[in-house]
Amino acid sequence: MNNIKVGLVEDQFLFREGIKAILNSMQGIEVMFEAADGYSVLEKLNSTPTLPNVMLVDLSLPPNGQKEYSGLNVTHDLIVHYPTIKILILSVHEDENFITQLIECGAHGYLVKDSDPKEVQEAIIAVHHKGSYINQRTLIALQHNMGRRIKSTHLRDKITKREKEILQLICQQYTAEEIGEKLFISERTVNGHRNHLLQKTKSKNVTGLVMYAIKNNIVNLI
């Protein structure tokens, strides 16, 4: 099995070296890209022969001169220019608004910097293989914030019973293969339903589907 290739965008040298050492000691994970700021990421990726599968991005990054360039800006850039790279935000902040904003922007998961290394490993594997990592902290933030939004009743009514079943299983972090086994359908059929859901809900990725499901009370995972 090929290693999951990881990139680090982190301005604090000691923290970056520490997490790099931890990740490289984990079986199946290889750190192969790093940057000390966000504004040079695109340029560095353009000259990188092999792209990372997962990028760990610090939320608080140095400005580009007078211009702010945070992990939110990096997330925007990666979504537009390198949509296949999965994004995990690392932050000291546990503020629910921060978490929701980053996930809405397109990040695939959110971790605080004091997370256990085992959770970081699980998050990397989850976003790589399943498309998202929604831990309890992120889930609570989304449900609190999504609960205050206007719900898309008309669109929700257009989602078929099968699509709702698949959406519920996606929210429980099952892979397409596992969903197929549970529902006795092919993985290809699951992916077809998932693509229809992405189009119907105008979601950027699997994490967007989770947000839609929470917002419309299709699932409640707490």
**What is the average per-residue pLDDT within 117-132?**
93
166 pLDDT higher than 90? yes
Compute the 3-state secondary structure of the chain and give helix, strand, coil in percent, each to the nearest 5.
Answer: 50, 15, 35
Q: Which helix (H) or strand (E) holds 14?
A: helix 13-24
What is the per-residue pLDDT across 22-63, written as a single tens digit (0 to 9) for each?
999 999 999 999 999 999 999 999 999 999 999 999 999 999
Distance in angstroms (rounded) separating the CA atoms of residues 68 and 31: 26
pLDDT, position 149: 57
Q: Looking at the DSSP assignment, which residues form a beta bridge with residue 9?
A: 35, 57
Nearest C-alpha neighbor of 85 from the set 195, 176, 8: 8
What is the per-residue pLDDT across 146-164, written as a single tens digit (0 to 9) for each?
665 555 555 556 889 999 9
Q: Where are the alpha helices (DSSP H) in 68-175?
A: 71-81, 96-105, 117-130, 136-146, 153-158, 161-171
Mean pLDDT of the chain, nearest integer: 88
> Which residues, including other chains, have CB under 8 Å from residue 106's CB and lie 6 or more apart?
75, 76, 78, 79, 87, 204, 205, 207, 208
Give the pairing type, strands 109-112 and 29-35.
unpaired
- What percent of the chain clears pLDDT 70, i.e. is strictly above it? 93
Nearest C-alpha neighbor of 147 from the set 93, 112, 209, 100: 100
Cα 176 to Cα 23, 158, 162, 184, 222, distances in angstroms: 26, 22, 14, 12, 23
